[in-house]
Structure 1
């Protein structure tokens, strides 16, 4: 289906836990690692029901996120239930700490892809970024590395390493990360470089100005090195194949109208609300309260259609980056 701006809506991103429910407390995130025991998250049955309704509208893919989705003890059941609805793709974003033990079971349950957060390969820096200060820092990094290996060994179709690039923190590690991925020797292991987003703790101007690192020049340098380039429909993201046989993808949402105009996902919060826009929280559409009050599937469909109607590009052509920041032309690589 299409929204008012003629953008297809064919993917759903579901937060399985509150943003604050995570065993890390990354400096750029949303107070992860600090959460109460009370939880208003959807049950596996409720997730299955709403996704069965959305499947009627042509939803093809599901991305599971958090917080940290692996903190849910019923994560395998959730994947199994979604797989039973015959989506083309079920993927997950995780910090990886609890992934190795369940990698094989998740793959068998129907998980096809996984994004694993790895913002540095330096053990001490890893502890600082993730808020997991410990003299055992190297072992904490090892948990994430073990998760990458487990995902590859389990036969995941794609394993992406998410790196939020920050000025003065890890912008000097990009080549190290490329070599890190190369060492795995898998074509389906992709390095994903992500610009810092102006939200959550990063919403303070001081924090953002201190750590924001424009990936424009980085993308231009990677483009020059690349031997192949493909453009994904989602956000018009480009993936570059380097001579090292490593794929690199860049995610640049800030002041990027291409990102918004090619966003085909709608988001669902952990507590059962449709979230029409990644960058906004003022137009959420609650469906869990009506569902728990006995709403029919037809009523849930109407709530979904309302959320689709509310979809609007956050960044529009008049909001694009200043000319000096636009370093990637509109031609094919």
Structure 2
């Protein structure tokens, strides 16, 4: 590994938040059409995916990752779209693991995980997060909207676990759609060693028809799980951890809740996001970004990249979830499928 020269002048934003986590979308393509992310009726009409030459190359992603690491980033998460659709994704994992000291992780819908898990583990992936909104076949097929079977995702999770990858499972809960199955989800993953986390349905993008009435508050989810399987709170692993941690009283493992709607955590957010074609966004709910593909392809060196990241981050004052109200309804936002969640 080539040592990264760390810029010791720690960068913090306008609210004194450091940059610690970098999320990199490697593709805008996905083989699911989840209604809260990439609704089929929207994307089947006129949407055009990015051409290959518009995507950041693996080499460009590594250059950016090293620049961010020099300013304090410790974790890199690969996202999409569906990142396992990007050809050679295991090569990128190996490149990042070899060129940085960051923990390299990945979020996937699990559809290709069974065939990719061993290669990803061998490449140096630290852990994997699988998006799975239900263990009920009919509900899961309706939510992914392409008829993909839940058994294939569950198989991928087990293959990943056997390959030595720690697994977390994220479930977005929408009232009247999959909220009746949260206890079944908890029952399925209790005792497996896989950490299940329930996520409040968020108003990312403009195509999912989000309404506050569709949100199942995390406090309600805690009560629902606790009534069936008693749980107790656990201290966070680190400052800025997005999920509140709970554990089963009987020792059957851990469960988490991400309450970005009803219990915003903007004040401790340390995440920067790079879209598939190299736009830097400083918030999941942003609508403007900084074009790092242009900067990279203009021949900029590491010092210029670091200066630009520092300038953008110092000006950051995002706190959308804290100010969410009727006044934010019409604010334009980029789509979840584009920014990578």
Choose which of 147, 153, 163 in structure 2 pairs with 1:144: 153
Q: CA deviation at 1:215?
A: 2.1
Match of 1:155 in 2: 164
Q: CA deviation at 1:7?
A: 1.3
Distance 1:3 1:201, change over 3 A: closer
Where 2:211 maps in the other structure, the secondary structure is helix
Residue 12, structure 1, aligned to residue 22, structure 2: yes
1:62–1:87 contact (8 Å) kept in structure 2: no
Question: TM-score by structure 1 length?
Answer: 0.84
Match of 1:38 in 2: 51
Where 2:295 maps in the other structure, the secondary structure is helix
Q: CA deviation at 1:291?
A: 1.0
Residue 274, structure 1, aligned to residue 288, structure 2: no
Alignment of structure 1 residues 143-292 onto 2, 5 Å: 143-156=152-165, 158-182=166-190, 185-187=191-193, 189-201=194-206, 204=209, 207-209=210-212, 211-220=214-223, 222=225, 225-232=230-237, 233-235=239-241, 237-243=243-249, 245-254=252-261, 256-257=263-264, 259-282=265-288, 284-292=289-297
Where 2:96 maps in the other structure, the secondary structure is helix
1:223–1:240 contact (8 Å) kept in structure 2: no
Match of 1:330 in 2: none
Please provide the CA RMSD for this pair: 2.2
Q: Can you list the C-alpha shifts for 1:266-309, whole angstroms capped at 9, x where unaligned?
A: 11111111111111122x11111121121121211122112212
Match of 1:100 in 2: 114
Question: TM-score by structure 2 length?
Answer: 0.83
Distance 1:177 1:317, change over 3 A: closer
Q: CA deviation at 1:219?
A: 2.7
Match of 2:307 in 1: 302
Q: CA deviation at 1:25?
A: 0.1
Distance 1:128 1:319, change over 3 A: closer
Distance 1:77 1:318, change over 3 A: closer
1:161–1:192 contact (8 Å) kept in structure 2: yes
**Which stretches in structure 1 are left out of the alignment for 5+ residues?**
321-333
Whole-Å separation in 1 of the counterparts to 2:98 and 2:27: 22
2:69–2:102 contact (8 Å) kept in structure 1: no
Q: CA deviation at 1:59?
A: 1.2
